[in-house]
Amino acid sequence: MKSEKNIKISPFAQQVYQITGKIKTGQVATYGQIAQAIKKPKATRAVGRALHNNPFAPQVPCHRVIKGNGEIGGFAGGSSKKAKLLKQEGVNIKDGKIDLKIYQATSIK
């Protein structure tokens, strides 16, 4: 995966972007779920940093990655923009949280 902006992408970030690209519209995954999928279960913060620097948005839908407790979490464009994008995709956000039982992606490995 090469960036159009000539940014050097680490192998770790490439893995994160590859897995994140598998999250379907109307679904979300957690930072921990991404870390598990790339076989680095303790790297949840590093997953977040890689997604914050995502040069492939919106093709790599980093707005679909949320906190493990269902909260929206950070977003380079601001959390309100992240919430707006998710709502446009059909994800219901109630009291600042997303119900993972309903919206969590199950096939991103």
> Is there a catalytic annotation at residue 65?
no
| Catalytic one of 16, 19, 62, 105 | 62
Alpha carbons 109 and 102: distance in angstroms, whole number = 19
DSSP letter for each residue of the chain: ---TT-----HHHHHHHHHHTTPPTT-BEEHHHHHHHTT-TT-HHHHHHHHHT-TTTTTS-GGGEE-TTSB----TT-HHHHHHHHHHTT--EETTEE-HHHHB-----
Residues with catalytic roles: 62
